[in-house]
Amino acid sequence: MAIIIGLTGENCAGKGTVADYLARKGFYYYSLSDIIREELANEGKEITREALIAKGNQLRQNFGSDVLAKRTIAKLLSDRNYVIDSIRNPAEARALLSGGKMTLIYVNAPAEVRFERMKARRREGDPRSFEAFKTIDKLEMESKDEHGQKLAEVFALATKKLVNGSDFKELYAEMDDLLGEISTEFKPSRPTWDLYFMNIAKVVASRSNCVKRHVAAVIVKDKRIISTGYNGTPRGIRNCSEGGCARCNSFADSGTKLEECVCSHGEENAIVQASYYGISIKDATIYTTFSPCLMCTKMIINSGMREVVFNSAYPMSDLPMKLLKEAGIAVRQVKMADEKS
């Protein structure tokens, strides 16, 4: 999962404004309060501030203080950035933080500013006086019920603070600064070019029809794939897995009866496919799941490729390796992350 930003803060501090800004940058939005709204809607009840607080407390009482967070986590996909709003209980915050992917931001604004914003929105049920507003603030900050809203404890878990006391331009600039910090901490891991192309070669190998071993090669130039090939019987010949190669189907010992094998090798097919479509492979790199045999080595040398990158060593690789070295072709082994060194 790339980036998850959690938002917490007092009423009318500007969490929604920050969430909208992140949504414009491609973040997918979730509010823990949406879980509560769904419950109230299913029960046919009116959605008011008081009803949301009461139902949220009830859900936490019945299913645990982190129920809203857990239900939201279940909806998240690994290939998206998310902003999650309305985190009001420390158990919710800890559940979201436990995955190690979320940055919790405390959005803050002076009480007087927040009260003026509340009055401007003219929402039914909002307090009419500043004193009543502060009373609600205090109740949400210091609830004695472990399943209730305990904002002060949530704020203490936040690692970033965003002050929203002036105009949007300043808020957005501050948010951009925070995103710059967060993106370095949550930079998505990317495979190296070697692992990228070798992984593709492994996928290409899954197309092999050989009954003995699945091998494939990918030819790359300027970090672009220009040809692929996997081992199997030649074009128009019955597949090896369907009995097309008697040598393979007799499961001859490795390295024996090679003159009877009618299967083309992965490197051979990749080179021939490039020739078939008139693509130059001079100075290219070939990624292969096994180090090349003698026949494929000669084809690699004569085709003008400059580098061979392989995953596993072919059982009979001494002479091919010697020839590649003599021809001045670079050879490297790249093991996959799930393989032993």
The residue ranking higher by pLDDT, 271 or 209, is 271
Q: What confidence category does residue 254 fall into, taking pLDDT thresholds of 50, 70 and 90?
A: low
Q: What confidence category does residue 167 fall into, taking pLDDT thresholds of 50, 70 and 90?
A: confident
Q: Order the strands of the 307-312 sheet from edge to edge.
A: 224-230, 216-221, 285-290, 307-312, 330-333
Does 10 score more than 70 pLDDT?
yes
Average pLDDT over residues 115-126: 82
How far apart CA 10 and CA 110 sit, in angstroms, is: 10
The residue ranking higher by pLDDT, 185 or 205, is 205
Q: Is 46 a catalytic residue?
A: no
Q: What confidence category does residue 340 fall into, taking pLDDT thresholds of 50, 70 and 90?
A: very low
How far apart CA 114 and CA 10 sit, in angstroms, is: 8
Q: What is the pLDDT of residues 36-70, one digit of tens each?
A: 998 899 999 888 878 888 888 889 889 988 999 99
Average pLDDT over residues 13-42: 91
How far apart CA 208 and CA 230 sit, in angstroms, is: 5
Q: What is the pLDDT of residues 314-337, one digit of tens each?
A: 766 789 999 999 999 999 999 876
How far apart CA 237 and CA 72 sit, in angstroms, is: 54
In this predicted structure, what is the pLDDT of residue 230?
92
Ordered DSSP codes for 218-266: EEEETTEEEEEEE-BSPTTSPPGGGT--HHHHTTPPTTSSGGG--PBPH
Which residues, in sequence order, are CB contacts of 91 under 8 Å at separation 6+?
60, 64, 65, 66, 69
> Mean pLDDT score of the chain, rounded to an integer?
86
Average pLDDT over residues 190-204: 91
What phi and psi values does residue 174 have, to the nearest 5 degrees?
A: -65, -40
In this predicted structure, what is the pLDDT of residue 148?
72
Tokens of 145: 């019920």
**C-beta atoms surrounding 50 within 10 Å:** 9
Minimal CA–CA distance to 267: which of 335, 219, 316, 332? Answer: 219
Average pLDDT over residues 243-252: 73
Average pLDDT over residues 149-160: 90
In this predicted structure, what is the pLDDT of residue 84?
95
Tokens of 106: 């405390």
Ordered DSSP codes for 42-63: HTT----HHHHHHHHHHHHHHH
In this predicted structure, what is the pLDDT of residue 186?
43
The residue ranking higher by pLDDT, 264 or 124, is 264
In this predicted structure, what is the pLDDT of residue 339?
56
The answer to whether 68 and 36 have CB atoms below 8 angstroms apart is yes
The answer to whether 6 and 13 have CB atoms below 8 angstroms apart is no
In this predicted structure, what is the pLDDT of residue 189?
61
Predicted TM-score (pTM) of the model is 0.53
Coil, helix or strand at residue 279 = coil
- State the catalytic residue, choosing from 181, 267, 326, 339: 267
In this predicted structure, what is the pLDDT of residue 252?
67
Average pLDDT over residues 10-20: 91
